[in-house]
Structure 1
Amino acid sequence: MPTVTVIQPTISEEQNTKIRCAAYCRVSSDSEDQLNSFMAQMRYYSQVFDNSETEELIDIYADEGITGTREDKRDEFQRLMKDCRKGKIDRIYTKSISRFARNTRDCLKNVRELKSLGITIYFEKENIDTANMTDEMMITIMGGLAQEESTSISQNLRWGIKKRMENGTIKMCTPVFGYELVDGNLILKSDEAEIVRQIFDWYLNGYGLAAIAQMLNALKIERFGRTSHWTASTVGVMLRNEKYIGDQLFQKKYTTDTLPFRQVVNKGERDQYYYSDRHKPIISRDDFDKVQNILAEHKKSFKGLKQDHIFAKKIYCGECGSTFKFKCRKNKNYWVCRLHDAESDKCSNKQILEANAISAFIMLCNKLWYNYKQILLPCQAALQDLKLKKFSGKTQVMDIHKEIAKLREQAHVLARLKTKGFLDEAKYLEQTTELTAKINKLQTELKKLTRSDDEDEMLEQIEMLIDFFEKRENIMIDFDESAFENIVEKIVVIDQHELEFHLIGGLKFKEKI
């Protein structure tokens, strides 16, 4: 018979830690009533756990004044899911399914992921607890109703807009340069109209889009009453705009029918409505047609250029911060700063040869391949040590959330007092300015505290880099597009002779060209 030794428990049941809870709340607009609702939810969840013996509130995640139809627009919801994946939360409380998600797919996807992580959700309005597996059918039904409600409202609004487009009663929402908006109608502005005529005249006389933008910037031409930076693309849009001949084309873009709603360019999927002679023209139809023909010819000549180049939107100017754009001259590919190309006096950073950028990347990869153990492994070790240190600011984060909610409530009270005449303008401005300053300071502090959670993501990316170089058997000879796309976040052009590569994991390396 074997000898059996009983190992007594070292932690009693009374010492078990409380269930770590989080609250998620959201309001769908930034009106005063909704702001009041937002603060009420913050107060409610802050107080409900104060005297609980079994549960403790870890954090409140609150998205304020934004759309609920798209999950990627809810920053606080994304932070909640991120913290759940890190094992910081055991249970989530939320007012209703429609607050948590506005379409069935996202609702079920998130509920299932959270259940797989051992995290339960309680929907107060529907009295649904995901701890009970049979509730998934109820969640599907309620999530479908929430989605149907959101879709129905959107469809009703779009139906009304379509009818107004069909019967000619649709009104403009924003004016174009050269006009002002009066009761939804475009009324000509003589000073701006003269500039529009000059732009068309320049183009008909052989000036390019970039050259016209440069001249407008040199003349310090304002748009909509404020200083504006003119670009070649801005000029191009103006030259194609049918409003300058007195016509209007409606539904150039349309909103998709299903959640998440997105605006997409109408390429024939929806009806379009063209109104002729709707307002006073600035440009003659003859000149407008000539401009369209020239633009069409230029488009044909540039059709061969690569629009989806791997460097597109990856190269930035170290002087002005603008993105670099592609140019081809004498069968050689170049990248040039957009601001320098439009106004060379405002940015001195000149173009770089694409071949030089590729050579610099290959050289950097080979240096890291030889030395990654001396460079990347110490970074990995330092981040792992940082991760082991427990985040001590949990209660501090909660306190800041509560304080922000309290200050917002005070601002709301001041607004009501001013509206009712109990507070004069000067005193109102003085007190609201002070409250805003306090809120901004607290939000800055909150960002500093929550930013410490990013070390997990940084560590994962450092490990990806190490894995990339460990698996390489030889040095890189030819440009590897896949490697570039996977490990480079962006390139900053210091000058014509030096590039700074920003790799995943927050690492930066400079390389001569």
Structure 2
Amino acid sequence: MKAAIYNRVSKDEQFREGYSIESQKEHCISFTKSQKWLVYDTYVEEGVSAKNLNRPAIQALIADAKEHKFEVVVFYKLDRLVRSVRDLDDLLKLFDENNIAIRSVTEPFDTTTAIGRFLITLVAAIAQWERETISERVVVNMTKKAMLGERNGGKPPFGYEYINGELVIKEEEARFVRDIFRLYNNGKGMRTIALFLNQFGIKKDIRTIGKMLDNPVYTGKLRWGNNSKLDVIVSEDIKHPTIIDEDIFNLTQQYRKLRTVEGKKATSPFHFSGVLRCARCGSALSGYTKKSRGSKHYICIAKKNSGTCDLPMFTEKALTTEFFLNLSADDPERFFQLSQEDLKAHPIEQQDQSLKIDELKKELAAIKTRKKTWLMALGNQVISQEEYLEMTQEDTKKETILSEELNNVVEDYSPLDYESVISLLNNISDMWESANDFEKKSFINELFETITVDIPSEYKRAPGKSPSVIIERFKLK
């Protein structure tokens, strides 16, 4: 009779309970010899949990069982094989279909009788309960550590290394972390960043780069629970040196949110795309780069797609010149004449909106405090994980609704009155000169809903001659 021997140990069981692979193997081989069975093969899994059957060795054993390569499976103890009643049931059905018996070295199971099958199922249920209890304890302890600002182990983030259990900057990687944030904040896409890193032999895909850009660990903070059902914990206690300044990180998060919402409209290299409208046909204008000159132009999409509009193509340089002429602080009246909103005659009443914003912020703060209290109760083992989820479920729903309402109110809360416009006109020139493409693009799209443009009627197309631009009117957001 051929026997398949299965041995397994998780990462901590060898030290906690003495379930070493060698010890299991010796017991199983001795047992097999005592039964005068031949050992077909030994299936070993080291450092692997038995939470499911998605394990390389157990899958190899299942495949060989289906091909009838052995008649009995030998293991040291049932919880080495499975820790789930469902998984045990699936294996028993598979073994029965292929006339394969199972034998535990330390437990007297006889799966040929009803009582034997009941007892083995009962033992599997106890093993499952034990695994879930251990899992709950681990979650509680890890939550408590995170709340105290301590790391829960794991691989150090790119840019750091562990020295004596502490995160320390690894400069040969940290300089690329700074490059990632710098390139992203300068308007580069994640695919471009991935190609940049690849030139230096650093393999990072777009998803990984996105996670790095969102990770507050680079500002010296600690985050835990980001991929779990529990609330994310971000410790404000600085426990390790920073690679990225918090202002830079916050700016990155603003850009991340904007790019998620606006997509290509917010990230294209054309500063005015998305807001320009043709005065002749009402169509939008799209950006176009002349590769021979490397210059940026705008063209009416009605002309581009169907030739039904006669608005000549013009350069972004010409549009920018006219734009600043109309945004001059020396002549603010020109700005108001072109605006489709009379800001001087219609000052915005903001008091009610301000009070509403304060009220919503107070409600959100109260929910945050309440959820933190429940989290502390979880960390102190006063309540279970299930109780915590149940108690915070309603608060989480309400928090989502209030946050959405607050965002809507803030969007409608426009501080752009007459005095604000004058201040804007005084500072726009300096801001524009120092801003990158992405910041210029963001400014235009956040301030203007539409800018309607035309070309002087006397313009005659000629080689090397680019038309000037007329801004007829614009609408503020």
**TM-score, normalised relative to structure 1:** 0.44
Greater Rg by CA: 2
